[in-house]
Chain A
Amino acid sequence: MVFNSLTFVVFFTVLLLLHRMPFSWTTKKVNLLIASYLFYAAWNPPFVILLWISTLVDWLVARRLYESTRVARRRAWLLISLAVNLGFLAFFKYGEFLLANWQALMATVGVTWVPPEWNIILPVGISFYTFQTLSYTLDVYLGRSKPLRSMLDFSLFVTFFPQLVAGPIVRPGQLVPQFAVPRQATRDQLSWGLGLMTLGLFMKIVIADSGLAQSADLVFGAEKPVGFADAWLGTLAFSGQIFCDFAGYSTIAIGTALCFGFALPDNFRMPYAAIGFSDFWRRWHISLSTWLRDYLYIPLGGNRGSDARTYVNLMLTMLLGGLWHGAAWTFVVWGGLHGLYLAGERWIRARTGVPGDPAGPWNRLLLALLTYFLVNITWVFFRADTFAGAARILQGMGGLAAEPVAVLPTIFMIKVAVLITGIVAIQWLMRKRSLEEVVARTPWWLTGLVAAAMLLAVIVSQGSGEAFIYFQF
């Protein structure tokens, strides 16, 4: 089920009413659990079984891990969890990719091998809930937390519908304690939750789908070389589309959870106002970047070893982070570029002593724009289906395309220019402020007016239920 659908409007309304009925807390949690399974099954019912298996395995493994004292046995239990969770991921998400690469590898040594036809559907959000359940097992294995006592709470942690299919990826400690005591949103929480949902829907339906998606699709779908303006505007459109699509989803998720009295962590903090790439990754998809930091980068050694080892750890983390997004080498290159940027930034800072936040507003603005420029280069690989497609766009962006064709209508160019300028300017102005701070300082009538304008735009835009981009990851 997608948030931007009439089905969700009905689902949310009924569930919220149920949650505000005078049932026991356990009954309300059971309601939420069943609703979460329905939320997932509404897309493809059989795949709920994957959720059940994942839940059951990690529940049992975590208890055995905690009870075992022998290192070998603990490792064996951990391996079972990793094998099941990553096995699902490998089969459903990377199966075809692995076979295709194996085929290519065999071809290089002269062996002709045709892989079987691969008609496996990718379960929505499998990368998200796999990482979420893994974090629980890994926390218990690493001695960071005890296993949960309540299977109901653990099941709800794995399945909680607002963030089930596209995050934020929540750690057990962030969410499970909230299941311990009865929760019902206060009027202020409900109001703010609905406000966040409105903002998220506006970002998704009005900005991402109606405003920018067509331009990105036209440019990246062009079969001939595109010129400088088209290539740049198409890439900028995608940068705005993916931000508004994904941050929009996260905002709706946070707002939805808040309407039920639960708090989810932030996933985005004005990423296009970042100065440098370590700053960018503190602002973009925060729940993934911190997951990779805590469960991959630090266990690899982080920056505790030599400089060379730190750079290797950085690259490995970002390459795997790229692969997490999709089973294609273009995603690996996207991650690799970010790894190179992070390593380069680290190298420059170590040698020049440039601080993370340089003095002078113009310096900060220039560095932020440079960061955004370089981020856009990476988006080319993220959005393009093939390296040839990415090369075509990059040639256009460099003004090097031979006999380029014009693809963007004037009205699309105007929309991209206006929306991207707006997105970047707003993020720059709110670089050091949270949305909550801004709203708290805004007069109530202006808040009401802006919310009305956004809601009205959502309604008359009539979202066609386009899936969120990150569902495919």
Chain B
Amino acid sequence: MKTLEDEETRRVIPGARWDVAWWLTVALVVVGVGAWEWKMRSLGLRAGDLGDGASHWTVERRKIAAGEHDDVVIFGSSRILFDTDFAVWQIMTGRRPVQLALPGTSPRFLLKRFARDADFDGLVIVGVTPEAFFSEFTTAFPEYLTVNDLWREESPSQRFGHGVGLLLSRYLAFLDDNYRLGQLIDRVDIPDRPGVRRPFMEVWKLSETSEDRQYFLWPRLMTDSRLLAHAKSVWLARSRPPAAAELVERICSDVGQDIARIRARGGEVVFVRPPSAGAYYEREQIVAPRAVTWDRLLRVTGAPGIHFEDYQHMQDLEIPEMSHLSRDSATRFTRAYVGLLAELYPWLDQRAVAGSAL
């Protein structure tokens, strides 16, 4: 009988001057990463921009499960993300809502699970981006389809890796999902065959993100006309068919049931329609006219709503790429809608203690 030692694997190690080879490698990598970091910073990326993704969302969702923040939660698409300033919330209400809105995603499927699974009895704010809300559309990002399960099932490895990633993002600007090497290559503007979905026409970097998923419009968009023009052209290229009356009715009915569940356990739901502008706004009037979508939603669900068109102090806001507010305008808009919320829900009002800060 042969012994185990007979089969023992041995590996050949190539003879080379490994010490100097590795020193060269390390030196080149340090110089290369340094140069890349410098280049990315020159493009407007910033260390401390924490990015966003499914793991970021799960961190926020777990705050509710842990009872840390159990009074205000925000669902929605990207607009309510970009247009909400937590510092204003903190000053006006003494609270920081849990931000569960997801870019490029309809809030309806998340709201449904939240209504069924959670025991949350606080205030749910639902940001409405008409084209996303009143359609069959779910999300442009498949990874978001599973966030509702991921926040419970995320592996220890994923959680730890997310923490390390956040730590590195505080010091390195180039760690930005929008500026990966592969993405930069894919965005080369070369002609495509008719009907092909062009990587060049994907959404590029629009935001900067900090603690608690605080989004703001990326400052470079305010100064770079090429990026701004690209963002606008992307929005205008993504048209959807007008919402059918039956579909709107079904959506309103479904959402009404979700709201009833939340109310049954003592919670409240309020809709917020953040502003849009220009040709995007004009298209929304065709695809999802207010009278048959927003107004119908409020009527069927019985929930209150704040529509930017209805308030003077929500006008003349700066919307550089027609869909998301500039940082200053986000602060103004938040101040306006939180003020209205405080009238609806007096338990939110902390302005008496805020004093001159406002």
Contact = CB atoms under 8 A, between A and B. Distances in A.
A447 B16 contact: yes
Contacts of A209: 182
A145 B3 CA distance: 6
A427 B317 CA distance: 59
A433 to B, nearest CB: 11
A386 B46 CA distance: 45
Interface string B7-24: 111111111111111111
Given A45-B156, A409-B198, A173 B161 contact: no
Contact of A409 (B9, B15, B199): B199
B157 A2 contact: yes
A6 interface: yes
A122 to B, nearest CB: 14
A408 interface: yes
Contact of A173 (B5, B33, B157, B180): B5
A172 B4 contact: yes
B174 interface: yes
B7 A174 contact: yes
B155 A440 contact: no
A5 interface: yes
A461 B4 contact: no
A439 B14 contact: yes
Nearest to B33: A459
Contacts of B9: 170, 174-175, 178, 263-265
Contacts of B226: none
Contact of A42 (B18, B160, B180): B160
Interface in B171-230: 174-175, 177, 180-182, 185-186, 188, 190-200
B32 to A, nearest CB: 4
A179 to B, nearest CB: 10
B157 A7 contact: yes
Interface residues of A, number: 76
A460 B157 contact: no
Contacts of A45: 156
B43 interface: no
B326 to A, nearest CB: 28
A6 B188 contact: no
B253 interface: no
Interface centre among B2, B16, B164, B192 (most CB of A within 10 A): B16
A211 interface: yes
A191 interface: yes
Contacts of B190: 410-411
Interface in A261-315: 263-265
A143 B1 contact: yes
A453 B31 CA distance: 11
Contact of B195 (A188, A406, A462): A406
A145 B180 contact: no
B13 A42 contact: no
Given A44-B155, A264-B9, A410-B192, A448 B19 contact: no
Given A5-B161, A172-B4, A448-B24, A409 B196 contact: yes
Interface centre among A172, A254, A464 (most CB of B within 10 A): A464
Contact of A188 (B13, B28, B181, B199): B13
Contacts, number: 189
A56 interface: no
B25 interface: yes
A410 B178 CA distance: 20
A1 to B, nearest CB: 4
Interface size class of B (residues with CB under 8 A): 35 or more
Interface in B329-349: none
A351 B221 CA distance: 71
Nearest to B32: A456
Contacts of B245: none
Given A145-B4, A452-B24, A460-B174, A187 B14 contact: no
B97 to A, nearest CB: 28
B185 A411 contact: yes
A62 interface: no
Contacts of A362: none
Given A263-B10, A411-B199, A440-B16, A191 B181 contact: no
Contacts of B191: 410
Contact of B17 (A173, A410, A411, A444): A444
Contacts of A188: 13, 15, 18
A452 B28 contact: yes
Nearest to A451: B25
B165 A6 contact: yes
Contact of A415 (B23, B161, B180, B185): B185
Interface string A378-419: 000000000000000000000000000111111110010000
A79 B20 CA distance: 55
A365 interface: no
B1 A146 contact: yes
A177 B193 contact: no
B14 A456 contact: no
Contacts of A44: 155
Contacts of A440: 14-16
A118 interface: no
B354 interface: no
Nearest to A262: B9
B168 interface: yes
A9 B181 CA distance: 21
Given A173-B8, A412-B199, 20 more contacts: A6-B160, A6-B161, A42-B156, A42-B160, A187-B19, A191-B18, A191-B19, A191-B22, A210-B182, A258-B11, A409-B186, A410-B191, A436-B14, A442-B16, A447-B21, A449-B28, A453-B28, A461-B182, A462-B177, A462-B180
10 contacts: A43-B155, A191-B18, A210-B180, A408-B196, A410-B192, A410-B193, A411-B188, A445-B20, A448-B20, A448-B24
